[in-house]
C-alpha cells in the first residue's frame, strides 16, 4: 500500500468524534502520511474528541512566516489493530504561505511522568522560532502495534481512514512505525521559512502591547517617535473587557461593530471579570465570591474548572475564561490591524503579579486562540517600571541630570488585582527588587457597597433567576456611580427601586464608604508594608511613588500609600490608566529588535520571581529552592537527603507559592529520582536544581550524589513542568494513585554548600 493512498483531507464543517490513530496503517514498515490544510469553520474550530477540545478561531490573511506547533500525545496499543491516542491540540486557523511538515522526533530525556489519570497539557508556539515563554511539553510513549492484524482488517482500515478524515487538519503529519521502539517522542512542526533573519525586525513587524485588564483593555504600539494608544471606532483608547452573547455571534467590548450599555452588559448575557476567574478551580474562594455576578458561575467543589455561562436567547451558554479572553484579544488584534494596516502576530501582554505559572499558561492559550504569539508576559508593575526607566533616561538626556539610582514604589490597583513593586532605576536599567500581588481590587469594593445597600441580598434572591439578575444589575450600577462620585465629593444620594418593589433611599458619605471597605484598605496597607520589608528598604529611601490603575484614584487609597511612604504627592510622569499598556508597547518594540536613534529604547528591566519555587519534603512541608523576588534569569541548587533507611528512590514534587505547607501551594509537576544506593537515612545526598531562563521558562533537575563514583552525580533528569487542565486536586489524586503514597519524599540537608 503506497503512502499516498493514506492521504486524506478534512471536509469543511466536519467534526472530530474520536481521537484514534489506527495501527492498521502501520504495516510493512510504511509511514502514515495524511495531508491536510487549514479550513474555515465558522467562528470556532474544533479538533480532538468531544471531551478534550480546545477551540480557536483566529483567521489571518497575509500572515507572515510559518508556525511551530507542539502538543503532547499519549498513545497505547489495544491489541485489536489500532492505537488509542489521547491528546489536546490547539490549532488556530492561520493561513501559511507554504505547507509545513509534522514528524515524530525523539525527546532525549530519562524522566517519567505519571499523568495517565489527567488530560495531557497543552504546549504550543506560534512563530517560526521557539517562544520565549512557552507552555510545557509532556513526552508520550508508543506501544508497538500488533504483529498481525485481526480478522476484518479491511473494514478496520476503512474505518480508521474515515476517522482520519475528521481528525486531521493542518499541513502534514508523518508517523514512522520503525521508530516506535523508542520510548519518548513529541510531535513538532518546524517552519520551512528559514530565509528570514530572525535577529532582524523592522517597524512593520513590531509587536503590540496589550493591557488586558479585569474590567478594561487597551492596545498600543511603538510608532517610531513614541508609543501610540490605538482607538476604536468610538474614539476610545480603553475598551470594556467583556463578551456579549445577545446574538448568535459573541461580541466583545473591543468590537468595532457595536457598544453595549451598562445595563445590557449586566443583563446576564455578558461574561466579564474573567481575569479573576481564569486558571482557578471551583474550590477557590474567588470563584465562590464571583457567584454574585449576573452571569452563571456554578461549582462542584471537587477541584475542577467552574462552569461559566451566559444567557443567549434565554438559554445558558457555557464558555471557558480562555475563550472569553480569546474573543476580546481577537477583537483588539483586528482593531490594531485596521489601524496599522498590517497583520499583527506578536504581542507583549501584561498580567497581574499574583498570577501563577498555571494562569500565565492559560493566558498564553487565549492569545494563541486569537492568533497571537506571546513574546513576553509582563507583570503589570514591571511594565510600569520600564516606562518609568524611559522617563528617567529622557530626563537624563534632556536636562543632563544625575545618573544615580532612583528608587520608586509602584502601586497598581485595578478592578481585580493589586500589585506592589519596588524598583531601582539607573541608566535605563530598572531592576525589580521586590514584587507582591494579591486578588484585591475594585470588584471587592463594589461588592462591599452592594451588600451595604442591601445587606439581605442573598436572602431575598437565593436563586439565579431573572429577578435576581435585574436587581443585581441595578445595584451594581448604583454602587459604581456612588464610588465614582465619592472620589470628588463627600457624600452621594442613592435612590433605587428594584424590580420586586424593594426601595433603597440612602446617603452614602465618605467616612461610611471607608468603613464599609475597611478590610480592603487594610489589605492594601499590609501589601505595601510587606513589599518594603521584603526589599529591606526604609521609606526614606523611596524617591517616588507611582500610582497606577483605576482604583488608585480613590482618595483613601491614594492618601494611604502616600502616607506610608511619607510623600506629599505622587510621581506625575505617567498616566494611571495608560502606564501598563505603554510599558508593554515599549517592551514590544525592544523585543522586536526596533532601535531608536535618540536612545528611547535603550532600556532593560530585570524581572523578579513573583512566587517561591520549591519541592515537597518529608512531613508535607515546602522547601523553597528559588525564593520569591529572585532576579531572573536564575539558577539555584539545594541539597536534600533520604528520609528513610534503605530508600532507593525519591519523589520530587514541585510547587509554586509561599505557604509553609506544600499542599497550600500550586502543584506544578513531579518526577522520580531512581537508583539511589540503599543506605541509612540522611546518608545519600540528592541535588535539586531549578533554572529560570530569561524567558521565564522553568526547568528542574534532580539526581543522587553517589560517593566514590567516577561521576559525582547520576545523570540529571530534566523536567519541563506539566500543567493540568482540570484543576489542582485531580493532579494530586493522580500523583498519589501513580505512586501509592508520598512517603518517598526527601528532607532538606541541614548544611548547604
Beta bridge partners, 218, equal: 211
> What does the block give as the cell for 501?
418593589
pTM: 0.71
**What's the pLDDT at 650?**
83
Query: Average pLDDT for consecutive 10-residue bins of the chain (753 residues)?
Result: 33 31 30 26 27 24 30 34 32 27 27 25 27 27 30 39 34 29 25 32 75 95 91 87 81 72 88 93 90 89 83 86 92 90 94 92 90 94 95 74 81 96 91 94 96 91 85 94 94 92 93 96 96 90 95 95 92 93 96 87 91 90 94 92 86 89 84 82 87 85 70 42 45 56 59 58
Residue 151 DSSP label: T
Residue 550 DSSP label: G
- Strand intervals (E) in 618-679: 622-626, 634-642, 650-656, 666-673
For the chain, how big is the Rg over CA atoms in Å? 27
Burial of 632 (0-12, 13-18, 19+ CB in 10 A): middle
> What does the block give as the cell for 732?
494530586
Q: How many CB atoms lie within 10 A of CB 594?
A: 18
> What does the block give as the cell for 294?
449576573
**What's the pLDDT at 618?**
85
**What three-state secondary structure class fits 46?**
coil
> What does the block give as the cell for 586?
515599549
- What domains lie within the chain, and their CATH numbers? 1-199 (no CATH), 203-375 (3.30.420.40), 380-441+519-606 (3.30.420.40), 613-748 (2.60.34.10)
**What's the pLDDT at 501?**
87
469-485: per-residue pLDDT in tens? 999 999 999 999 999 99
**What's the pLDDT at 752?**
63
**What's the pLDDT at 129?**
30
508-562: per-residue pLDDT in tens? 999 999 999 999 999 999 999 999 998 888 899 999 999 999 999 999 999 999 9
Q: How many CB atoms lie within 10 A of CB 396?
A: 17
Task: Please choose, from the candidates 688, 610, 617, 691, the residue with its C-alpha nearest in 3D space to the C-alpha of residue 656.
Answer: 610
**What's the pLDDT at 135?**
28
Write a three-state SS string for 246-288. Answer: CCCCCEECCCCCCCCCHHHHCCCCEEECHHHCCCCCCCCHHHH
Taking the C-alpha atoms of residue 720 and residue 53, their distance in angstroms, rounded to an integer, is 23
Q: How many CB atoms lie within 10 A of CB 44?
A: 15
Residue 385 DSSP label: H
**What's the pLDDT at 358?**
85
Beta bridge partners, 639, equal: 687
> What does the block give as the cell for 273?
471579570
Q: How many CB atoms lie within 10 A of CB 376?
A: 25
Amino acid at each position: 500500500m503506497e503512502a499516498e493512498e493514506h492521504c486524506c483531507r478534512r471536509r469543511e464543517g466536519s467534526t472530530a468524534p474520536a481521537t484514534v490513530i489506527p495501527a492498521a496503517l502501520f504495516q510493512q514498515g510504511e509511514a502514515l502520511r495524511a495531508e491536510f490544510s487549514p479550513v474555515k469553520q465558522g467562528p470556532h474550530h474544533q479538533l480532538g474528541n468531544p471531551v478534550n477540545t480546545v477551540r480557536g478561531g483566529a483567521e489571518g490573511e497575509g500572515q507572515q512566516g510559518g508556525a511551530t506547533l507542539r502538543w503532547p500525545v499519549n498513545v497505547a496499543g489495544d491489541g485489536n489493530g489500532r492505537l488509542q491516542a489521547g491528546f489536546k491540540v490547539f490549532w488556530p486557523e492561520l493561513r501559511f504561505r507554504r505547507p509545513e511538515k509534522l514528524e515524530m522526533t525523539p525527546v532525549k530525556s530519562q524522566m517519567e511522568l505519571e499523568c495517565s489519570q489527567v488530560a495531557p497539557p497543552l504546549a504550543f508556539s506560534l512563530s517560526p522560532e521557539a517562544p520565549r515563554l512557552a507552555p510545557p511539553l509532556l513526552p508520550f510513549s508508543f506501544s508497538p502495534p500488533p504483529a498481525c492484524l485481526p480478522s476484518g482488517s479491511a473494514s478496520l482500515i476503512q474505518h480508521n481512514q474515515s476517522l482520519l478524515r475528521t481528525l486531521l487538519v493542518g499541513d502534514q503529519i508523518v508517523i514512522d512505525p520503525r521508530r516506535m521502539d523508542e520510548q519518548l517522542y513529541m510531535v513538532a512542526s518546524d517552519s520551512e521559512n528559514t530565509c528570514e533573519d530572525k535577529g532582524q525586525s523592522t517597524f512593520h513587524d513590531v509587536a503590540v502591547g496589550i493591557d488586558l485588564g479585569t474590567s478594561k483593555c487597551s492596545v498600543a504600539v511603538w510608532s517610531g517617535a513614541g508609543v501610540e494608544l490605538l482607538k476604536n471606532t468610538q474614539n476610545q483608547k480603553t475598551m470594556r473587557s467583556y463578551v456579549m452573547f445577545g446574538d448568535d455571534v459573541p461580541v466583545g467590548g473591543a468590537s468595532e461593530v457595536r457598544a453595549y450599555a451598562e445595563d445590557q452588559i449586566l443583563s446576564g448575557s455578558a461574561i466579564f471579570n474573567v481575569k479573576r476567574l481564569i486558571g482557578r478551580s471551583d474550590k477557590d474562594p474567588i470563584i465562590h465570591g464571583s457567584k454574585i455576578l449576573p452571569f452563571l458561575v456554578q461549582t462542584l467543589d471537587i477541584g475542577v474548572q467552574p462552569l461559566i455561562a451566559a444567557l443567549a436567547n434565554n438559554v445558558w451558554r457555557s464558555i471557558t475564561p480562555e475563550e472569553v479572553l480569546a474573543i476580546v484579544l481577537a477583537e483588539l488584534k483586528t482593531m490594531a490591524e485596521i489601524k496599522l494596516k498590517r497583520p499583527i502576530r506578536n504581542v507583549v501582554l501584561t498580567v497581574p503579579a499574583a498570577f501563577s505559572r498555571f494562569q500565565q499558561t492559560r493566558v498564553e492559550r487565549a492569545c494563541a486562540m486569537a492568533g497571537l504569539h506571546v513574546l513576553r508576559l509582563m507583570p503589570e508593575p514591571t511594565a510600569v517600571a520600564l516606562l518609568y526607566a524611559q522617563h528617567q533616561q529622557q530626563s537624563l538626556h534632556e536636562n543632563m541630570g544625575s545618573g544615580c539610582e532612583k528608587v520608586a514604589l509602584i502601586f497598581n490597583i485595578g478592578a481585580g488585582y493589586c500589585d506592589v513593586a519596588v524598583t531601582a532605576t539607573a541608566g535605563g536599567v530598572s531592576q525589580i527588587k521586590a514584587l507582591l500581588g494579591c486578588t484585591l481590587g475594585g470588584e471587592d469594593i463594589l461588592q462591599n457597597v452592594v451588600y451595604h445597600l442591601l445587606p439581605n441580598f442573598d436572602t431575598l434572591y437565593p436563586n439565579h433567576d431573572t429577578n435576581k439578575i435585574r436587581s443585581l444589575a441595578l445595584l451594581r450600577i448604583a454602587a459604581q456611580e456612588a464610588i465614582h462620585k465619592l472620589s470628588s465629593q463627600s457624600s452621594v444620594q442613592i435612590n433605587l427601586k428594584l424590580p420586586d418593589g424593594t426601595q433603597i433611599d440612602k446617603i452614602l458619605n465618605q467616612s461610611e464608604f471607608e468603613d464599609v471597605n475597611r478590610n480592603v484598605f487594610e489589605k492594601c496597607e499590609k501589601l505595601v508594608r510587606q513589599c518594603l520589608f521584603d526589599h529591606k528598604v526604609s521609606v526614606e529611601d523611596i524617591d517616588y511613588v507611582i500610582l497606577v490603575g483605576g482604583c488608585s484614584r480613590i482618595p483613601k487609597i491614594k492618601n494611604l500609600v502616600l502616607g506610608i511612604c511619607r510623600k506629599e504627592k505622587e510621581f506625575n510622569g505617567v498616566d494611571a490608566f495608560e502606564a501598563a499598556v505603554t510599558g508593554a508597547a515599549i517592551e514590544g518594540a525592544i523585543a522586536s529588535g526596533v532601535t531608536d536613534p535618540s536612545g528611547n529604547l535603550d532600556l532593560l528591566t530585570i524581572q523578579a520571581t513573583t512566587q517561591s519555587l520549591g519541592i515537597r519534603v518529608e512531613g508535607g512541608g515546602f522547601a523553597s529552592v528559588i525564593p520569591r523576588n529572585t532576579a531572573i534569569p536564575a539558577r539555584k541548587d539545594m541539597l536534600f537527603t533520604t528520609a528513610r533507611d534503605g530508600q532507593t528512590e525519591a519523589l520530587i514534587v514541585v510547587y509554586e507559592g509561599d505557604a509553609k505547607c506544600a499542599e497550600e501551594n500550586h502543584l506544578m509537576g513531579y518526577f522520580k529520582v531512581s537508583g539511589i544506593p540503599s543506605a541509612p537515612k540522611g546518608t545519600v545526598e540528592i541535588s535539586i536544581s531549578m533554572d529560570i531562563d530569561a524567558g521565564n521558562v522553568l526547568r528542574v533537575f534532580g539526581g543522587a550524589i553517589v560517593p566514590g563514583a567516577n561521576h559525582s552525580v547520576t545523570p540529571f533528569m530534566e523536567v519541563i513542568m506539566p500543567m493540568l487542565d482540570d484543576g489542582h486536586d485531580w493532579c494530586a489524586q493522580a500523583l498519589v494513585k501513580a505512586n501509592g503514597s508520598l512517603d518517598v519524599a526527601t528532607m532538606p540537608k541541614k548544611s548547604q554548600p
